[in-house]
Amino acid sequence: MPDPITISIEPYQEGTATASSLAGDLIGLPAVRERISGPRPAVADFRLLEKDAGADAPFRAVVHDPDAYRSVEVTGRLGDLAGAAVRSVRFQPLPGREEFDRAVEAVRAHAEFGPQLAADGALAYRPMPPLADVTHADGTVDRVVTVGLRTPGSDVKHRIVGVRTKDGTVIPAPEGVSAPSALDCVTIPPADNCPDPSGGPRAVRVRVRRGTTELWNLVVNRPRTSSGVNGSGAELRFVDYKGERVLYQAHAPILNVRYTNDRCGPFRDWANEEVCFDATGSDPVGPGYRLCTSAPRTILDTHSDQGNFRGVAFFHDGSALRIVSELAAGWYRYVTEWRLADDGTILPRFGFSAVTNPCTCLAHTHHVYWRLDLDVGGSTANRVDEFNDATGWTPVRLETQRTRNPASHRQWRVVAPATGRGYVLVPGANDGTADAYGVADLWVLRYRGTETDDGRPSDTRAHIGDFVNGESVDGQDLVVWYGAHFFHDEAGPPPPSHVVGPDLRPVVV
Ligand SMILES: [Cu+2]
């Protein structure tokens, strides 16, 4: 009998500056107050731009004024806040539950749509896209929250309306949303009705031990506190296996979907809105992090949007620690999961589902892009090799973006030259190959603290390629991005699985 596995979870305290510790100082900067004068300014985004940042790290923050609907970006160094640069930027925070519920109330009070919503089987739901803001000739912008209406009794089964946040005016056909549709896709109604208690730590330190041997030691952020302008799912940091660093950070900052012939969308999704799934166990550090006594069950298992928990669920299944959460973006539902096996193998996973909507019965492709900041063996000097049948392993010298080639068994490995230890990245059988919209399957980049996501591109496509500019990656601190592409067509044969992701297997070369 091997020794039993024990899992410990404790709150993790950031060692460096955070948005909440700096909020007052940032909002109080004269250059910020000049542009942001409303009564409720808030730091909407904050990040340090350097690994293992010290007291004078460079940072970037966004301060948002929800009343004037204006935002500024603040960039500078922690040691010299007064010297920070401030400039106006466009920023549209996602509608929270309260704002969305207010929009639904406005629709219920509307002369035409109110009665429709009272009918049997009718419902109001969060659609895509979440906002349909209107820009006026004078440059001011009205925030418009979209509301999806399902009216099963009529020819029009779904329509998306807008509600102007400042006065509750209903806009029957806002620009930029799909036309009213006779399609009624997916029979799962949106629920999202599990408790959402406040409190609980932003992040936790998790340890997996076999007997007295520590296998895994890492920090986990729930999706709600994950990094990136659109969040990045369940996020891992400082991942050590048997006392040696493997990953500095691992997350999925880019998520989008494109429909064949653009019959809906395309949409850039977000990965920080948690929804309900089933997780049975205890919450050792408060809400949001649950240690399970049985396997968590998501919408992919239950075909239901209901559940008893939101946040991150941990479960050891006998050979691996599973780290599971479920996300919503409009009508989409995503399962974000990491499996950390006792033997050192790492399996990033993403699963795709949806609740009632007018789009997903049309053929579409989901794209998810993981950012894997590998620091194998604790060293930041790593190397990437690419394998092909004809040529064997070839070192990658310069930043590059690559596509899969199953015929030549193409795969990649990240190696610490000092020790020969590394990880092979084997593409998943279900991971597809990039089309023009998917861009590519793998990127090798020099580590840059400013390149943790692709920002706010004006289109929905992934813009990781903007970071490929010929820098050396041989023996450098490097980052691998990996894309998976899931073709979803309910009219075609059912896919073998609704889950994608590569395998990262430890090797010694
Ligand atoms: Cu789909």
Residue 491 has pLDDT above 90, yes or no: no
* Mean pLDDT (whole number) for 224-241: 96
Question: Are residues 17 and 118 located together in one domain of the fold?
Answer: no
* Mean pLDDT (whole number) for 155-178: 95
Q: How far is the CA of 336 from the centre of ligand 1 (A)?
A: 15
Q: How far is the CA of 304 from the centre of ligand 1 (A)?
A: 16
Q: Contact at 8 Å (CB) between 362 and 373?
A: no
Q: How far is the CA of 352 from the centre of ligand 1 (A)?
A: 6
Question: Are residues 438 and 492 located together in one domain of the fold?
Answer: yes
Range of the domain at 252: 203-508
Q: How far is the CA of 32 from the centre of ligand 1 (A)?
A: 42
Total count of domains within the chain: 3
CATH number assigned to the domain comprising residue 490 = 2.70.98.20
Alpha-carbon dihedral of residues 180, 183, 187, 192, nearest 10 degrees?
Answer: -20
b/e 105-143 (16+ beta carbons within 10 angstroms → b): ebbeebeebeebbeeeebbbbbbbbbbbbeeeeeeeebb
Question: Are residues 314 and 342 located together in one domain of the fold?
Answer: yes
Q: Contact at 8 Å (CB) between 316 and 216?
A: no
Question: Are residues 351 and 455 located together in one domain of the fold?
Answer: yes
Q: Contact at 8 Å (CB) between 268 and 367?
A: no
Q: How far is the CA of 360 from the centre of ligand 1 (A)?
A: 6
Would you place residue 223 in the very low, low, confident or very high pLDDT band (cuts 50, 70, 90)?
very high
Q: How far is the CA of 270 from the centre of ligand 1 (A)?
A: 15
Q: How far is the CA of 501 from the centre of ligand 1 (A)?
A: 16
pLDDT at position 14: 85
In a domain, 130, yes or no: yes
Q: Contact at 8 Å (CB) between 113 and 146?
A: no
Q: How far is the CA of 158 from the centre of ligand 1 (A)?
A: 18
Question: Are residues 119 and 45 located together in one domain of the fold?
Answer: no
Q: How far is the CA of 59 from the centre of ligand 1 (A)?
A: 36
* Mean pLDDT (whole number) for 85-106: 94
Q: How far is the CA of 247 from the centre of ligand 1 (A)?
A: 30
Q: How far is the CA of 73 from the centre of ligand 1 (A)?
A: 35
Q: How far is the CA of 351 from the centre of ligand 1 (A)?
A: 9
Taking the CA of residue 506 as centre, how many other CA atoms within 13 Å lie in the half-sphere pointing to its CB? 19
pLDDT at position 332: 98
Q: How far is the CA of 238 from the centre of ligand 1 (A)?
A: 32
Q: How far is the CA of 368 from the centre of ligand 1 (A)?
A: 12
Would you place residue 366 in the very low, low, confident or very high pLDDT band (cuts 50, 70, 90)?
very high
pLDDT at position 193: 87
In a domain, 48, yes or no: yes
In a domain, 191, yes or no: no
Distance from the Cα of residue 370 to its chain's centroid: 9
Q: How far is the CA of 196 from the centre of ligand 1 (A)?
A: 27
CA angle 17, 23, 27 (to 5 degrees): 135
472-485: per-residue pLDDT in tens? 999 999 999 999 99
Q: How far is the CA of 159 from the centre of ligand 1 (A)?
A: 19
Q: E strand or H helix at 77, and its extent?
A: strand 70-77
Which one of 171, 193, 223 terminates a domain? 171
Q: How far is the CA of 108 from the centre of ligand 1 (A)?
A: 29
Q: Contact at 8 Å (CB) between 509 and 438?
A: no
DSSP classification of residue 3: P
Q: How far is the CA of 188 from the centre of ligand 1 (A)?
A: 13
Question: Are residues 149 and 269 located together in one domain of the fold?
Answer: no
Q: Contact at 8 Å (CB) between 4 and 211?
A: yes
Q: Contact at 8 Å (CB) between 22 and 14?
A: no
In a domain, 193, yes or no: no
Question: Are residues 16 and 155 located together in one domain of the fold?
Answer: no
Q: How far is the CA of 499 from the centre of ligand 1 (A)?
A: 11
CATH number assigned to the domain comprising residue 54 = 3.10.450.40
Question: Are residues 64 and 107 located together in one domain of the fold?
Answer: no
Closest by alpha carbon to 245, among 92, 414, 67? 414
Q: How far is the CA of 150 from the centre of ligand 1 (A)?
A: 19
Residue type, 46: F
Question: Are residues 229 and 104 located together in one domain of the fold?
Answer: no
Would you place residue 377 in the very low, low, confident or very high pLDDT band (cuts 50, 70, 90)?
confident
* Mean pLDDT (whole number) for 475-501: 94
Q: How far is the CA of 233 from the centre of ligand 1 (A)?
A: 17
Q: How far is the CA of 381 from the centre of ligand 1 (A)?
A: 39
In a domain, 192, yes or no: no
Would you place residue 455 in the very low, low, confident or very high pLDDT band (cuts 50, 70, 90)?
confident
Residue type, 491: A
Residue type, 87: R
Which one of 171, 188, 218 terminates a domain? 171
pLDDT at position 353: 97
Residue 2 has pLDDT above 90, yes or no: no
Q: How far is the CA of 490 from the centre of ligand 1 (A)?
A: 9
pLDDT at position 51: 85
**Phi-psi group of 341: left, alpha or beta (phi > 0 → left; psi -120 to 50 → alpha; rest → beta):** beta
pLDDT over 90 for what percent of the chain?
87
Would you place residue 124 in the very low, low, confident or very high pLDDT band (cuts 50, 70, 90)?
very high
Q: Contact at 8 Å (CB) between 84 and 74?
A: yes
Q: How far is the CA of 15 from the centre of ligand 1 (A)?
A: 39
Which one of 153, 171, 189 terminates a domain? 171
177-210: per-residue pLDDT in tens? 999 999 999 989 999 889 999 999 999 999 999 9
Q: How far is the CA of 488 from the centre of ligand 1 (A)?
A: 5
Question: Are residues 78 and 105 located together in one domain of the fold?
Answer: no
In a domain, 37, yes or no: yes
Q: How far is the CA of 466 from the centre of ligand 1 (A)?
A: 27
Would you place residue 241 in the very low, low, confident or very high pLDDT band (cuts 50, 70, 90)?
very high
In a domain, 177, yes or no: no
pLDDT at position 128: 97
* Mean pLDDT (whole number) for 35-58: 89
Question: Are residues 504 and 376 located together in one domain of the fold?
Answer: yes
Radius of gyration of the chain measured on its C-alpha atoms: 23
Q: Contact at 8 Å (CB) between 270 and 231?
A: yes
User: In sequence order, what DSSP letters do the residues of 243-304 get, joined into one string?
Assistant: TEEEEEEEEEEEEEEEEGGGSS--EE--B--B--BB--EE-BTBTTEEEESS--B-HHHH--
Closest by alpha carbon to 109, among 56, 169, 59? 169
In a domain, 197, yes or no: no
Q: How far is the CA of 366 from the centre of ligand 1 (A)?
A: 6
Question: Are residues 148 and 287 located together in one domain of the fold?
Answer: no
Beta strands, E only, 90-243:
123-125, 134-135, 141-142, 144-150, 158-164, 170-171, 203-210, 213-221, 235-241
Give the separation between CA 66 and CA 74, rounded to whole angstroms: 17
Q: For residue 368, with 0-12 CB atoms within 10 Å meaning exposed, 13-18 middle and 19 or more buried, which class applies?
A: buried
Q: How far is the CA of 232 from the centre of ligand 1 (A)?
A: 19
Q: How far is the CA of 161 from the centre of ligand 1 (A)?
A: 23
For residue 60, how many other CB atoms are within 10 A of its CB? 17
